[in-house]
Structure 1
Amino acid sequence: MGDGGDPAELVSAFLEGNGLPVRDIGRTATQFHPTGGGTPCGATLYVSASAGSVIIGGPPGTPSPVPGIPDVVAVVHTHRDPIESSPSVMGACAIGSGNSGGSAGGASPDEWQLGPWRDSWSRDEHAAAVSAVRSAIGRGDVYQVNVVGHASAPYTGDPGPALARVAALPGARYGGVLSGDGWAVATASPETLVEVRGGRVITRPIKGTRPATEQGRRELLASAKERAEHVMIVDLERNDLARLGVGAVRVDELFAVRRWCELWQAESVVSAPIEQPVGLPELLRALCPGGSVTGAPKHAALAEIARLEPVGRGVSMGALGWVGTDHLDLGLSIRTAAVDGERVHLWAGGGITIDSDPWAEVDEAAAKAAPMRAALAGP
């Protein structure tokens, strides 16, 4: 975090200064409806996993493998005149070591080519990290920890089409590309970190994975281990929302099976009514980093993550989405890739419980990364 201070406050002050009333999200959703050219219609917001940890007083973790990408990026868009069909950029804010604006550096007009992937740890090292988490659970240090690995590959040519293929992967609730000076991020995330709409604050944690076959669906629904892991994170998210003090928290849907690419995943919906004023800083402090990619208890899990993961999470496992004048919708940046001037980067992992099989967890992470690797390689 290059600029110091609380990232949640810094970005909220920037957005408020550019005409978005983010200090009272309930009021934003019901009373603020700007029209006409030159007025803000919303902002693209990205918050890294490291920034999310810092927001709640946790460790920043291992340094990012893409240090040129800022920890927080906010781009404010304005309404254009009626004759123009799309919003224009009003202003941009970047917090951290990188810069916003521009496009991914290092690209050339040459044909796109992706080199060999290099993993941040071997399969044996990944399995050893899973075993280390199980030992920490056995000691009573944590109940669950999400362990994430990183891989990168060199490239030549224009990364834009490859990133667009990632963003278009089937099952993505949040599919898009955000670019800056010398970098770009593409997400195909299926998971909601936090949404504010219709007077409610909502989160949709995902936990539990199987191949998208009939047998895989039956196995996921029947797995006591997957269900226990999932319910643990649902309880964590219930507590996160309860900390907002906005209204009674409820579980609207529990362990529903959704499809992302060739995988089944279990998703729940947790929500609360907005009965008291709540702002963007409070939402970020309550829900960042997402419980499904940290573990429980959250602070203890973050300490294990910082100890075990050899490469930082970079753009993954953070937040990326939209802060509007009538709603807020931030996806959890899983299934997310990044490029700098020389390499493509991606991350994948999974939640570890006392019953986790190390080699099955290694294989699950590889299955999550496979569609992104294929999309990046070419059509």
Structure 2
Amino acid sequence: MSTLGPVVGYRPGSVDLHPPGSAISCAPHVWERSRLEWHSRDGGDPLSILAAFLADAGLPVSDVSASPRVTDTVCGAAVLLAPPSAVASPAPGVPDLVAVVYGHTRPGERPGEQPGRPAPAGLPPALPSPLGPWTPPSPSPSRVGAWTPSWSPAEHAAAVGAVRDAIARGDVYQANVVGHASAPISGDPREALRRVAALPGARYGGVLSGGGTGDAPAWWVACASPETLVEVAGGRAVTRPIKGTRPATAEGRAELLASAKERAEHVMIVDLERNDLGRVARTGTVRVEELFAIRRWSRLWQAESTVSAQLAAGVGLARLLGAVWPGGSVTGAPKLAAIDVVSALEPVGRGPSMGTAGWIGHGPDGRLRIDLGLTIRTVAVADGLVHVWAGGGIVWDSDPAAEVAEAAAKTAPIKAALAG
């Protein structure tokens, strides 16, 4: 999901930057051919807008259940989709929807060139074969100032208590409360964000930028997420919800495995994801393939499950995302009621965090592959500030102080990576 500007996104010869989910073998041969940046203030349904844009670009997303073949003229698209929010984002310059479509370039051809046809005007000279390395500019390193949280630990703990009250009333069974902090940042952030995207366990590690001109983007988003919102290949959809966190020590692993509270919270979200997939699945095909497996992300153990289903005939991208987005592990159960509860408690909007980012395009077999992560462990940079978000699922027996500490543990590796 990595681009260094609004026009040329994935530079020929650069193999260290690539959209999450794309084939590494494509790295030296892809270029940005079109881009969509949409803000909620623009109006319209983002899922329909995204599906129409990708279809116009040549990606067959009208029926993702049929495992359609992708034309050779397009490699795929990096996608970033912020969650819906009634609260203003602290980073309003970052779009709520971004889609960057990439084309293929063969060695010796220029980006956009087709055999037998002249290349579009204004493109760089033909690339040598084999491709030589691209040397990035040498920007001034970034510096991150002091962090300012959007709420105090006491206010965060009070929000946890308010969710427990909502559970006692029967409004929700679980709700995910998310906090935010920001800090001033100077210099070029790309190396700092690259470190964030490279954190251990970042299955959806990548950096996306836009706005501005050339090598001076107006906004940046870095993702280090380990969590799959939805993956589709061969008509089979998979989601991998994560819920349950402990320090990445032997003692922390044993404690997570033994925690009845964490397991109950986790199973609630697995049931929610089963229901979400069931809305777009063939009858009787929803399966829990793995339950409460322990995975490592940076300095933390986390519990992950795998839920799968065969998609019903005719399910398109917009309908699929309408069923699973935003993810249950960052909302709660029931989903809509949980969103209402936390929207009244969280001090600022979630911005690009807690949404989705990933890849829609060529799979290894040349057929459409969707691989979208949930944007936990996500950073945004805009207007001289860097933003981070973190939270956790609240159930009746949640301890407010422990929840505050868990959110701090989730942002600690990100802040350390930003500081270098």
TM over 0.5: yes
Residue of structure 2 in register with 1:254 after alignment: 291
- Deviations along 1:210-242, one digit per CA (max 9) or x if unpaired, are 001111111000000000000000000000000
Residue of structure 1 in register with 2:27 after alignment: none
Residue of structure 2 in register with 1:271 after alignment: 308
Residue of structure 1 in register with 2:100 after alignment: 75
In the alignment, the residues of structure 2 paired with residue 11 and residue 171 of structure 1 have an alpha-carbon distance, to the nearest angstrom, of 28
Cα pair distance change 1:250/1:111, threshold 3 Å = closer
Per mean C-alpha deviation after superposition, the further-off stretch among 314-323 and 238-247 is: 238-247
Structure number with larger C-alpha Rg: 2
The answer to whether the 8 Å contact 1:61/1:305 transfers is no
Residue of structure 1 in register with 2:78 after alignment: 44
In the alignment, the residues of structure 1 paired with residue 336 and residue 207 of structure 2 have an alpha-carbon distance, to the nearest angstrom, of 30
Check if 1:144 corresponds to 2:174.
yes
The answer to whether the 8 Å contact 2:209/2:219 transfers is yes
In the alignment, the residues of structure 2 paired with residue 310 and residue 355 of structure 1 have an alpha-carbon distance, to the nearest angstrom, of 23
In the alignment, the residues of structure 2 paired with residue 142 and residue 67 of structure 1 have an alpha-carbon distance, to the nearest angstrom, of 30
Query: 1:80 Cα shift?
Result: 1.5
Query: 1:18 Cα shift?
Result: 1.2
Cα pair distance change 1:371/1:85, threshold 3 Å = farther
Residue of structure 1 in register with 2:236 after alignment: 200
Check if 1:354 corresponds to 2:396.
yes
Q: Match for 2:335: what amino acid?
A: K
In the alignment, the residues of structure 1 paired with residue 334 and residue 406 of structure 2 have an alpha-carbon distance, to the nearest angstrom, of 23
In the alignment, the residues of structure 2 paired with residue 280 and residue 121 of structure 1 have an alpha-carbon distance, to the nearest angstrom, of 37
Residue of structure 2 in register with 1:290 after alignment: 327
The answer to whether the 8 Å contact 2:224/2:376 transfers is yes
Check if 1:365 corresponds to 2:395.
no
Alignment of 1:1-379 (within 5 A): 1-27=40-66, 30-35=67-72, 39-50=73-84, 60-83=85-108, 109-181=139-211, 182-247=218-283, 248-325=285-362, 326-378=368-420
In the alignment of these two chains, the number of paired residues is 346
**TM-align CA RMSD:** 1.7
Percent identical: 64
TM-score, scaled relative to structure 1: 0.88
The answer to whether the 8 Å contact 1:49/1:316 transfers is yes
Q: What is the SS of the residue equivalent to 2:201? A: coil
Q: What is the SS of the residue equivalent to 2:357? A: strand
In the alignment, the residues of structure 2 paired with residue 121 and residue 331 of structure 1 have an alpha-carbon distance, to the nearest angstrom, of 27
The answer to whether the 8 Å contact 2:180/2:389 transfers is yes
Q: What is the SS of the residue equivalent to 1:2? A: helix
Q: Match for 1:76: what amino acid?
A: V
Residue of structure 1 in register with 2:12 after alignment: none
Query: 1:49 Cα shift?
Result: 1.3
Q: Match for 2:269: what amino acid?
A: I
Query: 1:85 Cα shift?
Result: 10
The answer to whether the 8 Å contact 2:389/2:411 transfers is yes
Cα pair distance change 1:366/1:202, threshold 3 Å = same
The answer to whether the 8 Å contact 2:243/2:304 transfers is yes
Query: 1:110 Cα shift?
Result: 3.9
Structure 2, unmatched stretches of 5+, are 1-39, 114-119, 121-137, 212-217, 363-367
The answer to whether the 8 Å contact 2:70/2:361 transfers is no
Q: Match for 1:73: what amino acid?
A: V
In the alignment, the residues of structure 2 paired with residue 87 and residue 273 of structure 1 have an alpha-carbon distance, to the nearest angstrom, of 36
Query: 1:31 Cα shift?
Result: 3.7
Structure in which a larger fraction of residues adopt helix: 1
Q: What is the SS of the residue equivalent to 1:133? A: helix
In the alignment, the residues of structure 1 paired with residue 383 and residue 414 of structure 2 have an alpha-carbon distance, to the nearest angstrom, of 19
Cα pair distance change 1:246/1:309, threshold 3 Å = same
Cα pair distance change 1:144/1:84, threshold 3 Å = farther
Q: What is the SS of the residue equivalent to 1:328? A: strand
Following superposition, which runs of at least 4 residues in structure 1 exceed 6 angstroms of deviation? Answer: 85-88
Residue of structure 2 in register with 1:105 after alignment: none
Query: 1:86 Cα shift?
Result: 8.7
In the alignment, the residues of structure 1 paired with residue 282 and residue 86 of structure 2 have an alpha-carbon distance, to the nearest angstrom, of 31
Structure 1, unmatched stretches of 5+, are 51-59, 91-107
Query: 1:274 Cα shift?
Result: 2.7
The answer to whether the 8 Å contact 1:77/1:87 transfers is no
